[in-house]
Amino acid sequence: MLQDAIKTQLKGYLASLVHPIVLEASLDDTPPSREMHELLHEVAALSDRVQVSEQGEATRRPSFVIKQVGAKGAGVSFAAIPMGHEFTSFVLAMLQVGGHAPKFSDDMVTQIRALPGQYDFETYVALSCQNCPDVVQALNAMSVINPNIRNVTIDGALFPDEVTARNIMSVPQVYLNGKLFETGRADAGQILAKLDAEAPKRAAAKLKDIAPFDVLIIGSGPAGASAAIYAARKGVRTGLVAERFGGQMMDTEGIENFISVPETTGPRLSAALEAHVRAYDVDVIPGEVATELFPAVHPGGLHGVALESGAILHARTVIVATGAHWRHLGVPGEEEYRNKGVAYCPHCDGPFYKGKRVAVAGGGNSGVEAAIDLAGIVAHVTLLQRGSHLKADKVLCDKLATLPNVTVLTEALTTRIEGNGRNVTGLTYRGGDGADHHVDLEGVFVQIGLLPNTDWLKDTVERNAFGEIVVNDHGATSVPGVFAAGDATTTPYKQIVIAIGDGAKAALSAFDYLIRVPAPVEKKVPA
Ligand code: FAD
């Protein structure tokens, strides 16, 4: 099952196991069990520190648990053949069970250890879902640190009855002690914050007396990360509010236009970005969201930035790099059936619509790409474009035209998503003839572009009609000392290399401001 290059790499990793591990399988006579059997034995053949036992007693079959040989505890479970996006989760779980500490801060480890309850997580994934490994790896690592936490990763495709019974239409979907806990991507910090109600208070208390920054960057996508590196390289005190490293790149399957890297994935590039930032003297403030900006009273003075935890940070310059998020249709039924037929990530949720009928709302590049992608999985795709023609690149439109199971409707404005109270059953659109038309279907993928994450700035800095922060050619906003970069701004062409360049430019401009504008003696804002 494993290619030779992967085997060689894995052999290297497994050689570093501190403790021997056992892969304890619960199998039956089905083809997936045979596949799991083959994978586990191939892995075990790579290291004398890995054994396979077929004496597992789990009810889900096939499944396996990774345990330390001779140690008590539940171990890390997979009711999945963890290939695709979950292969890294499998390798990490083996290394962590085998004695390599998860890469969490000391504070986080202490917090995980101190969690008081018994937590049984069931995490439903699809192997094609690139948002899923974040949750899986976070929960697995947490279970290695605290034996009262257990996690089993379940491939929905292997357990369709469970998927139907729990009405799962979107992954990752996490159950805790039998109840729905979380849908969608989450990292360990976010999971901890949900499990530990006191966490935000502690985070705020910890940041209470933090010294003002010279440059404070909000957002850790490509623009924010690049700004942080450029600022730190100037030797100034740099802070980075990092809700999620990588930003939109984490939702991106393949990236082929990051100059000098012919081909990579979003999660891989995001990990490289984070490693690069952490190689510098940047004060990374993880898992926090900025909620308000308090501009300095005078040029050169200290700006305040309020965080969701309640803390307020201060800085002489602020770089806003909060990027953008998927735009919603805003029609009746969209919120009600979110994750029950209304989806935004074709790579993640496409497999749940196998053999079903879906619509894609949006005829730009992402809509047409989604339609092409889904056409290979689902029975039929209806692509709805509100304008008179598709706006995607010609090469994509040409490809779309060759697909027999795609219907393109132009001048079709989606007005309502319908359902039966449990799932989506159809969609209504207003056609060019002014009449309402109905399409029976089971899923709607919304692909109508992005909205800047700038609402939190309210009317402090100038924004255009689309909510983008108005910047000049130095990345300066309407507020002296506040700069902005990337997709959150009026900079045209929302791309990774452009965001990275923008971040660098904003940081250099912030440094220029720091050396030219003297700091007045004034009180911090807010008072
Ligand atoms: P983002 O990547 O959006 O990052 C912003 C960060 O700020 C996020 O981590 C967010 O969580 C955080 N944030 C938001 N609000 C707050 C707040 N209030 N407080 C703290 N943090 C906050 N570009 C390419 O060049 N090539 C591609 O192949 C490509 N494919 C794409 C595919 C998809 C599906 C998508 C969605 C985008 C793609 N793009 C691609 C575009 C590219 O990802 C973006 O242009 C780029 O990520 C923008 O970077 P950014 O740092 O400005 O913003």
Residues 6+ away with beta carbon under 8 Å from 341: 169, 417, 419, 423, 424, 425, 442, 443, 444
pLDDT of residue 522: 67
136, 89 Cβ separation under 8 angstroms: yes
The minimum-distance atom of ligand 1 relative to the CA of 245 is: 9
Ligand 1 center from residue 207 Cα (angstroms): 26
Q: Is cis: bond before 295, omega within 30 of 0?
A: no
Ligand 1 center from residue 274 Cα (angstroms): 14
Distance (Å, rounded) from C-alpha 150 to C-alpha 74? 7
Distance (Å, rounded) from C-alpha 439 to C-alpha 446? 15
pLDDT, averaged across the chain: 94
Q: Hey, which residues are catalytic here?
A: 345, 348-349
pLDDT of residue 527: 65
Q: Does the C-beta of 347 come closer than 6 Å to ligand 1? A: no
Closest CA to 454 of 273, 324, 349, 364: 324
Distance (Å, rounded) from C-alpha 457 to C-alpha 218? 11
Per-position DSSP letters for 469-513, written without gaps between them:
BP--TTSB-SSTTEEE-GGGBS-SS--HHHHHHHHHHHHHHHHHH
Say if residue 252's pLDDT is above 80. no
Residues 6+ away with beta carbon under 8 Å from 260: none
Say if residue 253's pLDDT is above 80. no
The mean per-residue pLDDT over the stretch 123-134 comes to: 91
Q: Does the C-beta of 499 come closer than 6 Å to ligand 1? A: yes
Ligand 1 center from residue 211 Cα (angstroms): 29
Q: Does the C-beta of 326 come closer than 6 Å to ligand 1? A: no
Q: Does the C-beta of 447 come closer than 6 Å to ligand 1? A: no
pLDDT of residue 293: 98
For 410-432, the pLDDT digits (tens) are 999 999 999 999 899 999 999 99
Distance (Å, rounded) from C-alpha 443 to C-alpha 144? 37
Proportion of the chain above pLDDT 70, given as a percent: 99
Residue 240 host element (H or E): strand 238-242
For 84-99, the pLDDT digits (tens) are 889 999 999 999 999 9
The mean per-residue pLDDT over the stretch 23-38 comes to: 97
Pocket test for ligand 1, best of 130, 207, 249, 372 (most atoms within 8 A of CB): 249
Ligand 1 center from residue 511 Cα (angstroms): 24
For 452-508, the pLDDT digits (tens) are 999 999 999 999 999 999 999 999 999 999 999 999 999 998 899 999 999 999 999
For 271-328, the pLDDT digits (tens) are 999 999 999 999 999 889 999 999 999 889 999 999 998 999 999 999 999 999 989 9
Pocket test for ligand 1, best of 319, 496, 500 (most atoms within 8 A of CB): 496
Distance (Å, rounded) from C-alpha 442 to C-alpha 425? 5
Q: Between these two residues, 244 and 215, which has the higher pLDDT value?
A: 215
pLDDT of residue 47: 97
Tokens of 204: 């705020």
Distance (Å, rounded) from C-alpha 129 to C-alpha 337? 20
Say if residue 156's pLDDT is above 70. yes
DSSP 165: H
Can you point out the beta strands (E) in 86-125? 119-125
Say if residue 378's pLDDT is above 90. yes
For 61-71, the pLDDT digits (tens) are 999 999 999 88
348, 126 Cβ separation under 8 angstroms: yes
The mean per-residue pLDDT over the stretch 223-249 comes to: 96
pLDDT of residue 329: 96
Ligand 1 center from residue 324 Cα (angstroms): 6
Which of the four pLDDT bands, split at 50, 70 and 90, describes residue 228? very high
Proportion of the chain above pLDDT 90, given as a percent: 80
